[in-house]
């Protein structure tokens, strides 16, 4: 009897083993074998770069080692490698291969490199992002400022002032001097930098070297490097707004490291940043590195116009289509009525700035030039020229941008309130000149008006000046 019972128990256990799915079938605590694996080895020259920089520049090495590039075995030579004949090859770097104090200084590791990594280099792995960036105002800002900025067009600041100020954000035109990068143009990571390989821009303006962090570029501080101050205080405007207040309160909990294209409002972050509105995708709107998209007004221009009507750099976009994209971004968190009413308010601000402030002041300025009471030879050497410039370039921008980004203090106290004072002072002196026929005082020793007025041939061609 006991033998029969034992046989029955064995049979029952075998039945259970057949009936119950195996761990491999259920997936419980069982590692799955990858069906395929991409394996990429690092060439000896690349290893030499890494080992040498680990010792010579540990900060650079640490940034790279913590980057997604390093995780994907993308190394120094993938970005910096050049051809022998490239105009920006580092001659000095060749000397590293003549050293005898490091095992990686031997000639067999010699490879031509450039210090300048350009969007053209990045396009080998990021073609869509580079194409989008290339058609943006960021990439083409050198062309824009040479067309509209009196400081450059009329040489009213020195080359040193430009290098330390304007070109730091807008970008320089890189040139070589005696086989090296010209210190008058380098170092520079401006968004519109004109590179020696013909490309424009610098991805490291936002994704700084050598970490190239998506998290960093998503934070408003990345944009605040350049978008600040009296003329375009977007970072200050943002921080005053409810969006900025939410970021200050909850930003530490945002999922900044979400994979590109997956960063989702309401899931990864509560309140938007500059990137989430102007670059990142959401809902049906795709990510784009063309910051000209989603704009329905050019609020930085003297007279506010549609992006396609901005003569310095007309966008190849339809403002109504782009407005719908931005509104779709807004409606990830706001209702349709809220969004549409916000735009109605912003449009009213634009109309009042254009009609009440800018157009009458511009008409008055033109009358003074026509009657010879102001001199057109230079700009800024007569007080009314400065007053007019700051009316649109400072207070006018702050009023428009403050309204666009929902910062009431900038829309009113830093904006229209200051516009009124500037406008009244401008008109008072202008009418006095017209009534008396007396020419405006012109500064005979305007300081440092020594900058070149030649447009860079790398941008405009050699024939145009």
For 236-245, how does the pLDDT look when each residue is reduced to its tens digit (9 = 90+)? 999 999 999 9
Closest CA to 138 of 285, 5, 264, 293: 293
pLDDT digits (tens, 9 = 90+) for 39-62: 567 888 998 999 899 999 999 999
| Interval 6-19 mean pLDDT | 43
Model confidence at 104, pLDDT cuts 50, 70, 90, reads: confident
Domain boundary among 69, 92, 115: 115
Q: How far is CA 181 from CA 167, 365, 413, 430, 458, in A?
A: 16, 43, 45, 48, 16
> What is the per-residue pLDDT for 335?
97
Residues 290 and 345 in one domain: yes
Q: Residue 158 domain-assigned?
A: yes
| Interval 167-177 mean pLDDT | 95
Q: Residue 34 domain-assigned?
A: no
How far is Cα 159 from Cα 157, in angstroms, rounded to an integer?
Answer: 7
Q: Residue 297 domain-assigned?
A: yes
Residues 264 and 348 in one domain: yes
Domain boundary among 192, 212, 232: 212
Residues 297 and 430 in one domain: yes
> What is the per-residue pLDDT for 186?
95
Q: What is the mean pLDDT of the chain?
A: 90
| Interval 150-167 mean pLDDT | 95
Q: What percent of the chain has pLDDT over 90?
A: 80
How far is Cα 238 from Cα 230, in angstroms, rounded to an integer?
Answer: 14
In this structure, of 76-85, 96-105, 315-324, the range with the lowest mean pLDDT score is 96-105
Q: Which helix (H) or strand (E) holds 458?
A: helix 457-460
Residues 71 and 173 in one domain: no
Q: How far is CA 316 from CA 292, 329, 419, in A?
A: 9, 21, 32
Residues 183 and 126 in one domain: yes
Model confidence at 24, pLDDT cuts 50, 70, 90, reads: very low
Is the pLDDT assigned to residue 11 strictly greater than 50? no
Segments forming the whole domain that contains residue 176: 117-212
Q: Residue 130 domain-assigned?
A: yes
Q: How far is CA 247 from CA 4, 53, 207, 281, in A?
A: 74, 37, 20, 19
> What is the per-residue pLDDT for 318?
97
Q: What is the CATH number of the domain that holds 440?
A: 1.20.850.10
Q: Residue 362 domain-assigned?
A: yes
Residues 192 and 93 in one domain: no
| Interval 199-216 mean pLDDT | 95
Residues 279 and 176 in one domain: no
How far is Cα 42 from Cα 55, in angstroms, rounded to an integer?
Answer: 19
| Interval 258-269 mean pLDDT | 94
Q: Residue 202 domain-assigned?
A: yes
Helix then strand then coil, in percent of the chain rounded to 5, is 50, 5, 45
> What is the per-residue pLDDT for 97?
84
Residues 298 and 360 in one domain: yes
How far is Cα 11 from Cα 245, in angstroms, rounded to an integer?
Answer: 69
> What is the per-residue pLDDT for 40?
63
> What is the per-residue pLDDT for 463?
61
Is the pLDDT assigned to residue 5 strictly greater than 70? no
For residue 173, what are the β-bridge partners? 194
Domain boundary among 69, 89, 115: 115
Residues 338 and 421 in one domain: yes
How far is Cα 141 from Cα 110, in angstroms, rounded to an integer?
Answer: 37
What is the distance, to the nearest Å, from the Cα of residue 215 to the centroid of all Cα atoms in its chain? 14
> What is the per-residue pLDDT for 462?
78
The interaxial angle of helices 44-56 and 58-65, nearest 10 deg, is 120
- Angle, vertex CA 419, rays to CA 418 and CA 421, nearest 5: 65
Q: Residue 231 domain-assigned?
A: no
Closest CA to 112 of 79, 72, 142, 83: 83
Is the pLDDT assigned to residue 28 strictly greater than 70? no
Residues 141 and 153 in one domain: yes
> What is the per-residue pLDDT for 94?
85
| Interval 151-167 mean pLDDT | 95
For residue 81, what are the β-bridge partners? 113
Q: Residue 425 domain-assigned?
A: yes
Closest CA to 283 of 323, 326, 332: 332
98/3: higher pLDDT: 98
- Angle, vertex CA 460, rays to CA 454 and CA 464, nearest 5: 60
Strands 176-177 and 180-181: antiparallel
Domain count, the chain: 3
What is the maximum span of the chain, computed from C-alpha positions, in angstroms?
A: 131
| Interval 328-348 mean pLDDT | 97
Residues 329 and 400 in one domain: yes
Residues 155 and 110 in one domain: no
């Amino acid at each position: 009897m006991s033998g029969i019972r034992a046989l029955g128990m064995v049979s029952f256990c075998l039945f259970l083993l057949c009936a119950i799915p195996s761990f491999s079938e259920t997936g419980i605590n069982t590692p799955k074998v990858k069906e395929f694996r991409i394996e990429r080895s690092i060439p000896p020259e690349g290893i030499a770069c890494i080992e040498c920089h680990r010792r010579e520049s540990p900060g650079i090495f640490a940034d790279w080692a913590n980057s997604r590039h390093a995780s994907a075995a993308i190394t120094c030579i993938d970005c910096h490698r050049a051809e022998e004949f490239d105009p920006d090859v580092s001659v000095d770097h060749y000397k590293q291969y003549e050293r005898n104090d490091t095992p990686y200084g031997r000639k067999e590791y010699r490879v031509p490199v450039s210090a300048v990594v350009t969007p053209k280099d990045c396009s080998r792995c990021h073609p869509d992002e580079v194409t989008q960036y290339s058609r943006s105002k960021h990439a083409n800002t050198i062309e824009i400022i040479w067309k509209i900025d009196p400081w450059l067009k009329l040489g009213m600041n020195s080359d040193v002032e430009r290098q330390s100020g304007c070109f730091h954000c807008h970008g320089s035109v890189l040139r070589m001097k005696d086989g090296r990068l010209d210190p008058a143009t380098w170092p520079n990571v401006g968004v519109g930098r004109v590179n020696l390989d013909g490309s424009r821009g610098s991805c490291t303006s936002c994704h700084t070297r050598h970490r190239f962090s998506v998290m960093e570029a998503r934070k408003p501080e990345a944009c605040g490097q350049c978008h600040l101050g009296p003329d375009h205080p977007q970072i200050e405007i943002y921080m005053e707004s409810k969006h900025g207040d939410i970021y200050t309160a909850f930003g530490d909990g945002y999922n900044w490291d979400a994979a590109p294209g997956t960063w989702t409002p309401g899931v990864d972050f509560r309140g938007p940043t500059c990137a989430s509105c102007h670059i990142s995708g959401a809902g049906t709107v795709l990510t784009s590195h063309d910051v000209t998209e989603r704009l329905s007004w050019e609020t930085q221009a003297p007279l506010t116009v549609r992006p396609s009507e901005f003569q310095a750099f007309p966008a190849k976009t339809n403002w109504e289509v782009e407005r719908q994209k931005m509104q779709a971004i807004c409606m990830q968190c706001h209702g349709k009525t809220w969004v549409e009413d916000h735009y109605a308010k912003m449009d009213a601000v634009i109309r009042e700035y254009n009609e009440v402030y800018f157009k009458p002041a511009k008409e008055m300025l033109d009358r003074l030039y026509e009657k010879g009471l102001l001199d057109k030879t230079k700009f800024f050497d007569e007080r009314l020229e400065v007053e007019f410039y700051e009316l649109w370039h400072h207070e006018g921008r702050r009023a428009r941008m403050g309204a666009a980004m929902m910062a009431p203090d900038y829309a009113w106290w830093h904006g229209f309130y200051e516009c009124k004072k500037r406008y009244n002072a401008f008109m008072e002196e202008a009418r006095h000149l017209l009534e008396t026929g007396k020419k405006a005082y012109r500064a005979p020793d305007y300081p440092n008006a020594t900058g070149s007025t030649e447009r860079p041939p790398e941008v405009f061609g050699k024939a145009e000046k």
